[in-house]
Chains A and B, each alone.
Chain A
Amino acid sequence: MTEPIGRLALAYTPEQHAAVATIEGEIDLSNVDEIGERLAEVANQVDSLVLDLTRAEYLDSQALLLLHRLAAGHQSGEYELTIVAPTGSVAAALFAITGMAELVPVVASNDQIIPVRSDPQ
């Protein structure tokens, strides 16, 4: 395998129990499980999770399934999930088609999110 097609970057503030996860590149059949596991891991440790899909280049129904599972924790009150999908992005287009925006709070910009300090770890 060459370069991973999709990347998950995490910004983490334990004291605030909040994290920002940024997905870059593509999510498909080949990496959805791996990324999904790591996100679930993070989600279990925080009260607030921001998932930034601004730079996601390809998302398909596999990714939707992943988001769906994350949203389940949000709905049960385990944590607060916010998904960032700017207008015109791949994610926004997908949400528009699937009606996903009704299930999870989707915001168009990162600016509305409480800034978190980047964690070097």
Chain B
Amino acid sequence: MEETTLTSRITEPNVARTDDDGDWTLSSPRLFVVVAIGYWLGSRVAFELADLSGLGAVFFVPAGITVGVMLRLPARRWWIVLAAAAVAEAVSDAISGADAVAIAGFVAANTVEPLIGASLVRRAVRRIDLARRRDVFVFVFGAVLVAPAIGALIGAVADTRYRDIGVWNTAWQWWLGDGLGVLLIGGFILTWGSSPDRRSLRSWPGAALLVGTVVTSAIAFHVIDLPAGFVVMATIALAGVVFGARAVAATTLLSGCTVAIGLAFGSRDLLHGLSDATALWMIQAELWVFVIAGLFVAAEAFEARLSQHETEAARVAAAIMERERRDLDGLTDVHDATTRLWSHVDPREGYVEILTAALALSGCDSGRLQVCDPQTGVMSVVAERTGPAAASPSNVATLPMVGVEGTLLGELVVMNDASVFEPRRRRQLDIYTVAVAGYLERAALEAARHESEQRHRTMIEQAIDGIVVADQAGRFVEANPAICEMFGYEREEMLGLGMADLVWLRERARIPAEVEGIAPGSIVSGEWELIRKNGSTFIGEMNLRGLEDGSVQGFVRDVTDRVSAELARDKSRRRLVLLQQLSADLSVAALPADVAETAARLVVDAFGANECTLQFDRAPVPDRWTALGAQTPDVVIPPGSTFASRHCVDLPARRGSLELAFTDSRELSPGDRELLDAITRLVVAALDRAELHASTEHSRELEKLRRIRAELVTEILTEIETVTGVKERAQRLLDLLVPDIADFATIEIPGGDVPGEADAPIASAGDPDLDGHSRIFVPIDLGGDVTGNMVLGLDDPERPAYRRSDVEFATDVAQRAGIVLAGARLREEEHRIAVRLQGALLPDELVSTPETTITALYRAGSDRLEVGGDWYDSFSWPDGHVGVIVGDVVGHGIDAAAAMGRLRSAVAALTPVTGPDPAGILDALDHIARGSNGSDYVTACCAVLHVASGTLRYASAGHPPMIVLSGDGSTRLLDDAQSPPMCNIEVDDRPEGASNLGEHETLILYSDGLVERRKERFDHGLARLCAEATKHRRSQAGGDLAEHLLDELIDPATAEDDVVIVTLSYADATERLVRTIPASGDQLAPLRADVRRWLTHHDVSEPIRRDILLAIGEACANAVEHAYLGATGVGTIEICLEVDGNDLTAEIRDHGSWRDPGAAGGNRGRGTGIMRAISSCFDRRTSPTGTTVICEFSLEEELSA
């Protein structure tokens, strides 16, 4: 049968498959042979069948074989498959008589196609699994749709040599056939390695499915009609959902084979007149749909199951977590049960409870607790519970309880019906058993005590009881000698006494109820405080029995000894409980402090002490804990009160002590001392444990600290380099150390700022006046034989004192930061020298004439770039000229400063020779500079003013232009006389410019540092300078103006270059008075006096002076009265008077809020009217930040009037 041959052939590779890794371990030659034969046979079968049917191949088997096998192999072995396919194809084609070109074309088509298909699939998924949705998609897309399309095109071109049905028709058929081949055969090969199917085909439903497919296919395609083929779809869908991808592959392959064979051998009537080609592709398309749909259905089913599995896995994980949580709860139960147990004073009370707890913990319903008699070793049941399981227990656990010395204390037996104990319950039970063992040990101890007590009691009972009989009236009618002796009465005395005579006064109240009311036959027992004849009392046990005749018989026994023994026993039992309590409490104390606190508190309670102090010496400081006694309203112990008695015991094996203090005088009994000793032993053990714990923690902390500090050192070094000065760096360093490392810190160096003087701090952080409780001093080497000190201190009492690790850290920081500080210090030192040198070289005083004012301002550059070579000077000539010069020796540092000094003195010496000739002065200067070291590049500008005429001549050698500032604020540049700088090149005839300096004008000379900024055009700087000059035109010529310009234009923090500003103006161009006073009435008179003096000095005539004073007075009064109403504190008033020629301007400014005169009422409107009337110009401006009143007065007008 063809069919069987076919199937056996394509399953062949499967035999070679060995494991799950997808790689077939078939040797290369065998692989080659197998694939080649498979390919050849597949090819033959396909074409034989096609020939028989005359329709063309339904599906091309080799296409599926190659790509299927390749995807089961690693890529490095693909070439074998491809070679085998090529050979088989070539041979097959040669046999069918193709020529060489066609053979090459077919070989190419049949090798390129699987190569592309396999590559696409492998690129997307490493190992294909057709049970997964994504893999199916990749397979269909890459190996079924794309690759066969390409192969089909190549093949169709080659095929044109034989057939003439058109390239596209051939390609179409080829594509359908190859694609179907890949789907059926390739899919079959691949599913054999994919996830196993949900249900195996090797079962009777599987067999039924396969047979059913064949039958359905045969009937649908060959007996009924083509569309009926979709009935098969149902079978395949069933295969996908119920079985899986593998079954889909098998059923579709079977279906495909059935169709192909049927077409070859069977009737073709069903095609109903369709053309061959159409019939074929319709069949192929149907089969395509089957396979693809089947595979997706199977994948969907599989993925759905997978997510179901995931949900299941999550559920299981949750269950496990729940179990663990229950375990934890179980341990809490054990703990609770144990804690409850210890609350029993008599251990025997706990037996039932132990059993109950054990049963609850183990989940059993039956069990018993047996306790072993320490003397006899006999086990006796002390608690038992019988539940349903006791009758036929299927699981019995016997848990022995063993004491510390290995003695068997008892056994716990639990039983249940279940097959085994849950491990969790078993574990809980084990833990609980250990706890119970401790408890039973105490019980044994108690039992021993109890026995001795019993013996004591028996001994006492051996003594003869006193017997007395009282009649109905309560009188004694009988008394035995024992009772007479007991009470110290003679028998005769005794008879006639009553019960009331024998009992102590306060017990008499009991008599009516307990003695007189006693019924015949009943017995009443009780302890009484009885009184002897001599008045002493004792405790007696009295058993009273009512007799038939109404009389009462009493047996009296002196139980003083027994009672005191009982009291003692109670006491020792209390101590035992106390020790147990302490032991339990201490076991949870993790820190030494907890231990001490726990112990101190317990001891206070136990001894009724008022204070307990526990102290132990532990490096570096002794720790000390104090617990105060309980304070009741009756007993309030004020803190610090004196105690009447103190008792101190040493802690064994360590330096330390435990001290008890009482407000009353109290002695400790030997028993108390014993108890204290026992307590101290427990405390020491707990302390050892806590310290061990703490030291482990401590070393871990230390390691952490060390790491943090290493990071901190790095951070510090990075951080302090961001500033330049030694002080700033030191400050930054300390700011980083406080408060993390220290509460306060200081760095001091010898001389502080001034070398050669005493140590002084250059930086400090925190409160420098603190002494602190712990300090570190470390030296800082600042280079050049200068060693400073860094002091770190702690003041906060909460912070632990410095340790060795802190000192190491501080030393490390000091050493490493010292290098950085030293660099800064040396640079500063050099800078300081250069600044001083420069200062020394600049002129001490400027030319001063009555008519002109010359001011100069020099500011050194920042520390970073040392000093520059800026200089200036002024001259005067006898012919009424004054001159100013500003120069800049380019360069920095001491050399530049020295060169500058030389040039300046040279100019000073030259000016008398050159005369008032600015260009000549620059020429001479150039000449000197050429022969001078350190002055290779010098710029300078010079201006000479003829004072009487105002003629200004000027020249500039590479220097920025001078500026003239007019009184109205306009500026002009003197830039008509620019010549090259002095740089060793001879310049002939430097040009000279001419201008005029008006009375209210100011000539400004400056060095480039004033206008130059990095990354900015020079003219921008110049424009800024002009703008600032305009703004400050009202500044008094000279000093004020220069200061303003410097402040506005230079940021001291970033200025790098040094700056010179020189101004030249006519004297007294403007004059001003500026005052700021508190806004208070009593300040007005002094202000007026001040202003009056100033006006007098400026020769202002009396009437005008009076007006000005009145205007200022009114404006100020307004400010005082109104501007600051409602404001807190006292505001200020600023007064500014300016005389400019014959004009005087008064400006009064406050910072309060102006209020409308009408609204304010009062007198203000009149004041304003006055001001308006007396001034030549009045203006008031109000803004939210204050009010400014400006009054102008003409001085001249008044004079002429």
Partner of A58 from B1113, B1121, B1169, B1174 at Cβ < 8 Å: B1113
Query: Given A29-B1084, A98-B1169: A60 and B1106 within 8 A (CB)?
Result: no
Residues on A with beta carbons closer than 8 Å to the beta carbon of B1170? 60-61, 94, 97-98
Identify which of residues 18-73 in chain A touch chain B, using a CB-to-CB cut-off of 8 Å: 26, 28-30, 58, 60-62, 64-65
Say if the beta carbon of A9 comes within 8 Å of chain B. no
A62 lies within 8 A of B1163 (CB): yes
Query: Given A60-B1114, A64-B1166: A97 and B1173 within 8 A (CB)?
Result: yes
Say if the beta carbon of A113 comes within 8 Å of chain B. no
B1106 lies within 8 A of A93 (CB): yes
Q: In the assembly, what is the distance between CA of A62 and CA of B1103, in Å?
A: 20
Say if the beta carbon of A5 comes within 8 Å of chain B. yes
User: Chain B's nearest CB lies how many Å from the CB of A107?
Assistant: 21
Residues on B with beta carbons closer than 8 Å to the beta carbon of A65? 1162-1163, 1166
B1113 lies within 8 A of A30 (CB): no
User: Chain A's nearest CB lies how many Å from the CB of B1113?
Assistant: 5
Query: Given A5-B1085, A28-B1084, A30-B1081: A61 and B1109 within 8 A (CB)?
Result: no
Say if the beta carbon of A114 comes within 8 Å of chain B. no
Partner of B1121 from A5, A26, A29, A90 at Cβ < 8 Å: A29
Query: Given A62-B1163, A93-B1106, A97-B1174: A30 and B1084 within 8 A (CB)?
Result: yes
Q: Which of A58, A60, A90, A98 has the largest count of B CB atoms less than 10 A from its CB?
A: A60
Say if the beta carbon of B967 comes within 8 Å of chain A. no
**Total number of A residues with any Cβ neighbor in B under 8 Å:** 17
Partner of B1166 from A26, A28, A29, A98 at Cβ < 8 Å: A98
Residues on B with beta carbons closer than 8 Å to the beta carbon of A64? 1163, 1166
Residues on B with beta carbons closer than 8 Å to the beta carbon of A97? 1170, 1173-1174
Say if the beta carbon of B457 comes within 8 Å of chain A. no
Q: In the assembly, what is the distance between CA of A111 and CA of B1008, in Å?
A: 74
Partner of A29 from B1081, B1103, B1106, B1110 at Cβ < 8 Å: B1081
Q: In the assembly, what is the distance between CA of A28 and CA of B1081, in Å?
A: 8
Query: Given A58-B1113, A60-B1170, A97-B1170: A30 and B1085 within 8 A (CB)?
Result: yes
Q: In the assembly, what is the distance between CA of A61 and CA of B1163, in Å?
A: 7
User: Chain B's nearest CB lies how many Å from the CB of A53?
Assistant: 14
**Total number of B residues with any Cβ neighbor in A under 8 Å:** 24
Say if the beta carbon of B414 comes within 8 Å of chain A. no
Say if the beta carbon of B1117 comes within 8 Å of chain A. yes
Q: In the assembly, what is the distance between CA of A61 and CA of B1169, in Å?
A: 9
Residues on B with beta carbons closer than 8 Å to the beta carbon of A62? 1117, 1163
Say if the beta carbon of B1082 comes within 8 Å of chain A. yes
Residues on B with beta carbons closer than 8 Å to the beta carbon of A5? 1085
Say if the beta carbon of B1167 comes within 8 Å of chain A. yes
CB-nearest residue of chain A to B1085: A5
A1 lies within 8 A of B1082 (CB): yes
Residues on A with beta carbons closer than 8 Å to the beta carbon of B1084? 28-30
Residues on A with beta carbons closer than 8 Å to the beta carbon of B1109? 58
Residues on B with beta carbons closer than 8 Å to the beta carbon of A26? 1085, 1088
Partner of B1117 from A61, A90, A98 at Cβ < 8 Å: A61
Say if the beta carbon of B1120 comes within 8 Å of chain A. yes
CB-nearest residue of chain B to A5: B1085
CB-nearest residue of chain B to A88: B1103
CB-nearest residue of chain B to A25: B1085
Residues on B with beta carbons closer than 8 Å to the beta carbon of A30? 1081-1082, 1084-1085
| Cβ proximity bits B179-203 to A, threshold 8 Å, 1 near / 0 not | 0000000000000000000000000
Residues on A with beta carbons closer than 8 Å to the beta carbon of B1169? 98
Q: In the assembly, what is the distance between CA of A4 and CA of B143, in Å?
A: 116
| Cβ proximity bits B811-822 to A, threshold 8 Å, 1 near / 0 not | 000000000000
Q: In the assembly, what is the distance between CA of A64 and CA of B1113, in Å?
A: 13
Q: What does DSSP make chain B's interface, helix, strand, loop or mixed?
A: helix
Q: In the assembly, what is the distance between CA of A50 and CA of B1121, in Å?
A: 30
| Cβ proximity bits B275-295 to A, threshold 8 Å, 1 near / 0 not | 000000000000000000000
A28 lies within 8 A of B1113 (CB): yes
User: Chain B's nearest CB lies how many Å from the CB of A94?
Assistant: 7
Residues on B with beta carbons closer than 8 Å to the beta carbon of A1? 1082
B1082 lies within 8 A of A60 (CB): no
| Cβ proximity bits B1076-1095 to A, threshold 8 Å, 1 near / 0 not | 00000110110010000000
User: Chain B's nearest CB lies how many Å from the CB of A6?
Assistant: 9
Q: In the assembly, what is the distance between CA of A90 and CA of B1106, in Å?
A: 7
Q: In the assembly, what is the distance between CA of A94 and CA of B1167, in Å?
A: 11
Residues on B with beta carbons closer than 8 Å to the beta carbon of A29? 1081, 1084, 1117, 1120-1121
Q: In the assembly, what is the distance between CA of A55 and CA of B1166, in Å?
A: 23
Residues on B with beta carbons closer than 8 Å to the beta carbon of A58? 1088, 1109-1110, 1113
Q: In the assembly, what is the distance between CA of A56 and CA of B1170, in Å?
A: 18
| Cβ proximity bits B1100-1134 to A, threshold 8 Å, 1 near / 0 not | 00010011011001100100110000000000000
Identify which of residues 1151-1201 in chain B touch chain A, using a CB-to-CB cut-off of 8 Å: 1162-1164, 1166-1167, 1169-1170, 1173-1174
Q: In the assembly, what is the distance between CA of A65 and CA of B1162, in Å?
A: 9
B1113 lies within 8 A of A60 (CB): yes
Q: In the assembly, what is the distance between CA of A60 and CA of B1114, in Å?
A: 7
Q: In the assembly, what is the distance between CA of A60 and CA of B1173, in Å?
A: 13
Q: In the assembly, what is the distance between CA of A85 and CA of B788, in Å?
A: 77
User: Chain A's nearest CB lies how many Å from the CB of B1165?
Assistant: 9
A60 lies within 8 A of B1110 (CB): yes
User: Chain A's nearest CB lies how many Å from the CB of B444?
Assistant: 99
B1110 lies within 8 A of A94 (CB): yes
User: Chain A's nearest CB lies how many Å from the CB of B1095?
Assistant: 13
Q: In the assembly, what is the distance between CA of A93 and CA of B1173, in Å?
A: 11
A61 lies within 8 A of B1088 (CB): no
Residues on A with beta carbons closer than 8 Å to the beta carbon of B1162? 65
User: Chain B's nearest CB lies how many Å from the CB of A71?
Assistant: 14
Residues on B with beta carbons closer than 8 Å to the beta carbon of A93? 1103, 1106-1107
Identify which of residues 1061-1084 in chain B touch chain A, using a CB-to-CB cut-off of 8 Å: 1081-1082, 1084
Q: In the assembly, what is the distance between CA of A9 and CA of B511, in Å?
A: 109
User: Chain B's nearest CB lies how many Å from the CB of A27?
Assistant: 10
| Cβ proximity bits B830-862 to A, threshold 8 Å, 1 near / 0 not | 000000000000000000000000000000000
B1081 lies within 8 A of A61 (CB): no
B1085 lies within 8 A of A28 (CB): yes
Q: In the assembly, what is the distance between CA of A98 and CA of B1169, in Å?
A: 8
B1114 lies within 8 A of A61 (CB): yes
Residues on A with beta carbons closer than 8 Å to the beta carbon of B1113? 28, 58, 60
Q: In the assembly, what is the distance between CA of A1 and CA of B1162, in Å?
A: 27
Q: In the assembly, what is the distance between CA of A97 and CA of B1168, in Å?
A: 12
| Cβ proximity bits B418-431 to A, threshold 8 Å, 1 near / 0 not | 00000000000000
Residues on B with beta carbons closer than 8 Å to the beta carbon of A61? 1114, 1117, 1163-1164, 1166-1167, 1170
Q: In the assembly, what is the distance between CA of A104 and CA of B1169, in Å?
A: 20
Q: Which of B1109, B1110, B1114 has the largest count of A CB atoms less than 10 A from its CB?
A: B1110
Residues on A with beta carbons closer than 8 Å to the beta carbon of B1085? 5, 26, 28, 30
| Cβ proximity bits B733-775 to A, threshold 8 Å, 1 near / 0 not | 0000000000000000000000000000000000000000000
27 A–B contact pairs at CB < 8 A?
A: A5-B1085, A28-B1084, A28-B1088, A29-B1081, A29-B1117, A29-B1121, A30-B1081, A30-B1084, A58-B1110, A58-B1113, A60-B1110, A60-B1114, A60-B1167, A61-B1114, A61-B1166, A61-B1167, A61-B1170, A62-B1163, A64-B1163, A65-B1163, A90-B1106, A93-B1103, A94-B1110, A97-B1174, A98-B1166, A98-B1169, A98-B1173
List 9 tightest A-B contacts by C-beta distance, closest first: A30-B1081, A29-B1081, A61-B1167, A5-B1085, A61-B1166, A97-B1173, A65-B1163, A30-B1082, A60-B1113
B binding-site residues for A, Cβ under 8 Å: 1081-1082, 1084-1085, 1088, 1103, 1106-1107, 1109-1110, 1113-1114, 1117, 1120-1121, 1162-1164, 1166-1167, 1169-1170, 1173-1174
Q: A29-B1084, A29-B1117, A98-B1170 are in contact. List 8 more A-B contacts (CB 8 A).
A: A28-B1117, A29-B1081, A58-B1088, A58-B1113, A64-B1163, A64-B1166, A93-B1103, A98-B1166
